Amino acid sequence: MTTAHISAKKGDIAETILLPGDPLRAKFIADTFLEDVVQFNAVRNMFGYTGTYKGKKISVMGSGMGVPSIGIYSYELINFYGVKNLIRVGSCGAYNEDLKLYDIILGMGACTNSNYAHHYELPGTFSAIASWDLLYKAKQVADQKGIDIKVGNILSSDVFYNANPDAYKKWASMGVLAVEMEAYALYCNAAAAGVNALTILTVSDSLVTKLETTSDERETGFSKMMEIALELA
């Protein structure tokens, strides 16, 4: 079976998959952390790979940028390929002044300015949250490895270059830790299908301090986040 966006056959993709936004980051993860790697997708250059980590089968594939892109890929992975655990690993911009570059956040919940949940025709506002099993296990792994993490609410935004540079302050006043662009759709799709999803983020820049990492550092410099995510397979 193939889809419009994924050329894999049934069984090529593991039940647990890591989803970085950048397909080149997916390749880096596969080359660096996995053994016996087989590439299962290159459609639209959205690279996907399956291999093993400590003897456990695990896949990794790019999700693209934004709610619409991860909405497509996560839906197909869940509903056509039987993926049960979807773990977004990505970068984020800090809204909290106490967050530093390379700090790690577990996205317990995701706010959004997207209209993605509208298509479910719910009679209200859907609160998109991570799966407790994955969230709890990720926290345990981080504690065991001595990796300091923050757990809390994040914002999945449709806007990268905001016309109002101070808009983040309103979200920050509600305790939102950071901004990214995909978690809300991932959590919605997982909830609708009854599978598990979690977002693990590394702070790549700060809207408070204006410090930021380079694109190369974002592709290869997030090893602690990977140490946590790979243990969830």
To 5 degrees, how large is the angle CA 220–CA 106–CA 140? 100
The per-residue pLDDT for 40 is 98
- At the fourth CATH level, the homologous superfamily of domain 16-230 is Nucleoside phosphorylase domain (3.40.50.1580)
Q: At what angle do helices 223-230 and 23-33 cross, to 10 degrees?
A: 70
The per-residue pLDDT for 219 is 61
Those residues with Cβ within 8 angstroms of residue 189's Cβ, 6 or more apart along the chain or in another chain: 71, 74, 75, 78, 197
The per-residue pLDDT for 120 is 98
C-alpha to C-alpha distance for 129 and 153, rounded to whole angstroms: 9
C-alpha to C-alpha distance for 128 and 187, rounded to whole angstroms: 6
Residues of the chain with pLDDT under 70: 218-221
Among 36, 143, 205, 216, the one annotated catalytic: 205
- To the query of whether residue 133 is one of the catalytic residues in this protein, the response is no
pLDDT above 70 coverage of the chain, percent: 98
- CA torsion through residues 157, 92, 155, 46, sign: positive
What would the pLDDT profile of 157-174 be if each residue is shown by its tens digit?
999 999 999 999 999 999
Those residues with Cβ within 8 angstroms of residue 206's Cβ, 6 or more apart along the chain or in another chain: 93, 94, 99, 100, 101, 212
The per-residue pLDDT for 133 is 98
The per-residue pLDDT for 214 is 84
Q: Domain spans of the chain?
A: 16-230
The per-residue pLDDT for 221 is 65
Per the structure block, which two tokens stand in for 230? Answer: 């790979």
Asked whether the beta carbons of 212 and 205 are under 8 A apart, the reply is yes
The per-residue pLDDT for 101 is 94
